[in-house]
Structure 1
Amino acid sequence: MDRKDLSILLVDDEESMVEWLSILLEQSGYTVKSFSHPEEALKWGEYNAVHVLISDIRMPAMSGLELFARIREIHPDAAGILMTAFSSIDTAVKAVRQGASDYLLKPFKTSQMLAAIEKAVQEKRLTAENRALKQKLSKEYNFQGIIGKSPSIIKLLELVRKVADQPSTVLISGESGTGKELIAKAIHNNSIRKEEPFIGINCGSLSPNLLESELFGHRKGSFTGAYRDKEGLMIAAGRGTLFLDEIGELNKDLQVKLLRAIQERQVRPVGDTATKPFKGRLICATNSNLKEMVELGTFRRDLYYRLNVLPLYVPPLRERREDIPLLIKHYLENGNYPGKAFSPESMDVFKQYRWPGNVRELQNIIERVCVMSSTTTVQIDELPEFLSVSKTNNAVSPENRPFSNDVSKLPMLSEIEKAWTFYVLEKIAGGRKRAASKILGINEATLHRRLERYKKEDQN
């Protein structure tokens, strides 16, 4: 939206303030309608578009808070910038809870007002984009919780739509924290199985024996502690969906048993001679490179091909940085932080950070910063130090920096080690340090020391 197309409603019972701000905003290219009486402004707002309301809080006939609330009843997306010469924590909290974009204490600098308007416009644009995207996707499909407008996310959601009603096994790959379970639930919620159960289990969180019992069930007395028959998750899922997260953590014995269950569509509980039919759909997820694991001999090739019928890839956050503002706005709106925002400088830091923990890490940081920050607009000095721009973004990598014949242009050996370490950790091991250390041929303690050294180098 161009500045001239933005309708600003300005209200203050001080005529000199109205006159000064009107001149300032019109010279800055904005379209402004100004009033000294809030009731007149409200009447005008009933018949005209209001994109941003700038209002004093203390006015005789009607407070700025009340005016903002009534304007929002008419124009739900209107942004609010409230001004006052009487600072009050209680008033500031009310303004934020009511959804005001900013709260300015008089006297303020012209740069503060212009920055507040720019922030309000940015928030309004993000809200509109997010709503449009949700409306577009929600006409026919349920993609609840998946936020983004990047080409990679749009492509992923289109693939979710295509595979939803297929009976074949889906293998979702992606780094830890990218939202693979959300994708699995989206597939289920958009399929003919959506009224049936969705049951998920993390294969890396249980011991092999306990995981076998959870998946396939067991008969009473089949092992110590089996005091009664137990129905496994493959049966409990019925005609619904069974989601196996971290499928790469299965040991060889469980890989064989799962392969047989998929091939025969039959499940044999531990200690039983009879089988039961598996009627559900299987969706698996991994943050490891299963193809590499097949070549290393740690994952069965035949099981890999059985699982990888319909492959989906969830991109890491660093590959869809344009989604970061939308994700931040989503977390602010759903985390009970209305009116909270981040300065442009802070947003730049978010966009440049590597995000090894992906969307999950972003959500964690937003919540932490919002709780610790006492300002409406979070500044760069309120962010955790480790978010400072990582130099590893520009490091040489095995996949995008070919070696040159010019010796002077060859990377340092330490650069190659660093790039290879991150490549193995992020691309092959999916963020799993134990798996990465095995592939790199070092122990976990050595890998930990390397990563700590790289972190200190980046901070310096």
Structure 2
Amino acid sequence: MSAAPAVDALRLLVVDDEPTQREMLQLLLERAGFKVTLAVDGKDALNVLERQSFHLVLSDQRMPGIDGLELLVKARELRPDQPFVLMTAYGSVESAVAAMKRGAADYLTKPFTKDELMLVLERVLRQRRLQAEVEELRNQLSDRSRMSGLIGVSAPMRAVFERIERVASTDASVLVTGESGTGKELVARRLHHSSRRAQGPLVVLNCAALSETLLESNLFGHVKGAFTDAREDRPGAFVQADGGTLFLDEVGEMSPSCQAKLLRVLEYGEVTPVGGSQPRRVSVRLVAATNRDLAREVEEQRFRLDLYYRLRGIEILVPPLRERSDDIPVLAEFFLRRAAESKEKAVSGFAPEVLDLFCRAPWPGNVRELRHTVEAMVTMSNGETLTVDDIPVSMRRSLEASAPPHQSSLPGGDDHADSAERAEIVKVLQRTCYPATGRWNIARAARELGMSRKTLEYKIKKVYALPAP
């Protein structure tokens, strides 16, 4: 039997003093695609853990000498982040609570089925992967704190990062395009801090926030008396950014007059303040951003063709959040941790149905909308886990309205289940069930359906209410 892709090459340490149980677990887990190491007792397990790391430790609780709870404590002293699952024939609420308090990731009571075992292992390993991704991103933010949180683990965002790294060392102008809220300014900041101009200034100017006169004054500077309120000479953004980077956000909002003056600066490398006559040489790397289609703006004669060509020498397209759904859980976790810290709230995570909703929502406001939603939820929360009840009513209605029409995105809503999807789920569940028992193999069915296990479980229980076999 081929190894399951979801667990390929994952290393497990199985600890059990009963040879039959040990060998049965080894056979079952290796058939599922895990790489299994065996330990005959707690002491043997500690010796193994001193030499090798594992993605997960699966240990019996009742063992002679060092029992499972003591092994858990000692193992976490050796490897504090080690995921640990305890199993015992003497299950009780008290022992489960004791295991969790000592840091166990989950708990299994014998006898358990293969499906129950795989469910626990997949849940723990998935959480471990998410924690590793968040930690990696936290390290990136620590190493590049000035980059202010440009986050992504998806293929589209990896392509953005690779393009940034390729062009950062040049002085060529860059045009950053994408919908509002996708993080275009963060791309500009990362470009600057990855460039040889990183020690120079980064000046940010929003072209849409100023009138034509104020924009020209802020961009090129002015001399005393240039206009009514010009009471003294003032350097513009180009002079302030000399030796560094100038980021012009919403460059498509510029007036034709301002476009012409910007083009001259780019062509000659010198800037003349409003009302002045003496140009000044500047060395500035220009990064511009827009959510408009500048090619269409050129066709409709609202944007200069020559300036468009100067700006788009290098173009970086930031994908909308709906095209990088793999990033949503990581972004949500990042925003949760940041909001919880700033608001001093003891919030640690999301309920599964919240992440399921987040991953299906189209997010027209993109990352900015997701951040505001999570921050509002943290503000509203009273518990450690954020649920759909923590979503403010207005935001909840918006998410509900934007969900696919064939199903409700929130518990308690009207479930318009798509019959074709329901039929496909039932068919795959029946085809992939365990022959001996007829029980569903949820992990395999989820892989065939191209969705996460949690999403499939949510659809089975909450959306379609399918009865278990």
- Alignment match, 2:280: 276
Secondary structure of the 2:208 match is coil
- Alignment match, 2:399: 387
Of 313, 328, 333, the residue aligned with 1:329 is 333
Q: Contact 2:350–2:386 (CA<8 Å) still a contact in 1? A: yes
Q: Contact 2:141–2:149 (CA<8 Å) still a contact in 1? A: no
Structure 1 segment 234-253 matched on structure 2, within 5 A: 234-253=238-257
Alpha-carbon distance between aligned partners in 2 of 1:345 and 1:173, rounded to the nearest angstrom:
33
Q: Contact 1:101–1:120 (CA<8 Å) still a contact in 2? A: no
- Please state if 1:254 is matched with 2:258: yes
Q: Counterpart of 1:370 in structure 2: which amino acid?
A: V
TM-score under structure 2 length normalisation? 0.63
Shift of 1:176: 0.7
What do the CA deviations read for 1:104-148 (whole angstroms, capped 9, x no partner)? 9xxxx99999877644321211233566789999999x9762322
Shift of 1:172: 0.5
State the percentage of identical aligned residues.
Answer: 38
Shift of 1:196: 0.9
Shift of 1:79: 4.4
Of 2, 9, 17, the residue aligned with 2:7 is 2
Alpha-carbon distance between aligned partners in 1 of 2:374 and 2:27, rounded to the nearest angstrom:
35
Alpha-carbon distance between aligned partners in 2 of 1:270 and 1:65, rounded to the nearest angstrom:
75
Structure 1 residues 276 and 128: alpha-carbon distance in aligned structure 2, compared to 1, 3 A threshold = same
Alpha-carbon distance between aligned partners in 2 of 1:81 and 1:370, rounded to the nearest angstrom:
30
Q: Which has the higher contact order (CA 8 A, sep 6+)?
A: 1
- Alignment match, 2:214: 210
Shift of 1:195: 1.1
Shift of 1:203: 0.9
- Alignment match, 1:457: none
Structure 1 segment 29-428 matched on structure 2, within 5 A: 49=53, 51=55, 74-79=78-83, 118-129=122-133, 145-336=149-340, 340-380=348-388, 382-383=390-391, 384-388=396-400, 390=402
Shift of 1:312: 1.2
Structure 1 residues 3 and 40: alpha-carbon distance in aligned structure 2, compared to 1, 3 A threshold = same
Alpha-carbon distance between aligned partners in 2 of 1:281 and 1:247, rounded to the nearest angstrom:
15
Structure 1 residues 78 and 240: alpha-carbon distance in aligned structure 2, compared to 1, 3 A threshold = same
Shift of 1:346: 2.7
Alpha-carbon distance between aligned partners in 2 of 1:184 and 1:237, rounded to the nearest angstrom:
14
Shift of 1:368: 2.4
Alpha-carbon distance between aligned partners in 2 of 1:213 and 1:351, rounded to the nearest angstrom:
44
Secondary structure of the 1:388 match is helix
Alpha-carbon distance between aligned partners in 1 of 2:150 and 2:47, rounded to the nearest angstrom:
40
Alpha-carbon distance between aligned partners in 1 of 2:377 and 2:240, rounded to the nearest angstrom:
41
Alpha-carbon distance between aligned partners in 1 of 2:137 and 2:218, rounded to the nearest angstrom:
39
Structure 1 residues 241 and 347: alpha-carbon distance in aligned structure 2, compared to 1, 3 A threshold = same
Structure 1 residues 48 and 283: alpha-carbon distance in aligned structure 2, compared to 1, 3 A threshold = closer
Shift of 1:387: 2.3
TM-score under structure 1 length normalisation? 0.64
Alpha-carbon distance between aligned partners in 2 of 1:102 and 1:375, rounded to the nearest angstrom:
20
Shift of 1:2: 3.4
Q: Contact 1:7–1:32 (CA<8 Å) still a contact in 2? A: yes
Alpha-carbon distance between aligned partners in 1 of 2:301 and 2:73, rounded to the nearest angstrom:
64
Gaps of 5+ in 1: 11-22, 56-63, 87-91, 395-460
What do the CA deviations read for 1:32-65 (whole angstroms, capped 9, x no partner)? 999999x99989865664656899xxxxxxxx99
Q: Counterpart of 1:354 in structure 2: which amino acid?
A: P
Structure 1 residues 195 and 284: alpha-carbon distance in aligned structure 2, compared to 1, 3 A threshold = same
Secondary structure of the 1:204 match is helix
Alpha-carbon distance between aligned partners in 1 of 2:118 and 2:397, rounded to the nearest angstrom:
28
Shift of 1:355: 0.8
Gaps of 5+ in 2: 1-5, 16-23, 60-67, 87-91, 95-99, 407-469
Q: Counterpart of 2:398 in structure 1: which amino acid?
A: F
Q: Contact 1:7–1:49 (CA<8 Å) still a contact in 2? A: no
Count residues in correspondence: 378
Shift of 1:171: 0.5
Shift of 1:200: 0.9
Alpha-carbon distance between aligned partners in 1 of 2:126 and 2:27, rounded to the nearest angstrom:
19
Shift of 1:76: 4.1
Shift of 1:317: 0.9
Structure 1 segment 10-21 matched on structure 2, within 5 A: none
Structure 1 residues 49 and 312: alpha-carbon distance in aligned structure 2, compared to 1, 3 A threshold = closer
Q: Counterpart of 1:387 in structure 2: which amino acid?
A: L
Structure 1 residues 340 and 139: alpha-carbon distance in aligned structure 2, compared to 1, 3 A threshold = closer
Secondary structure of the 1:186 match is helix
Alpha-carbon distance between aligned partners in 1 of 2:104 and 2:200, rounded to the nearest angstrom:
42
Q: Contact 1:51–1:77 (CA<8 Å) still a contact in 2? A: no
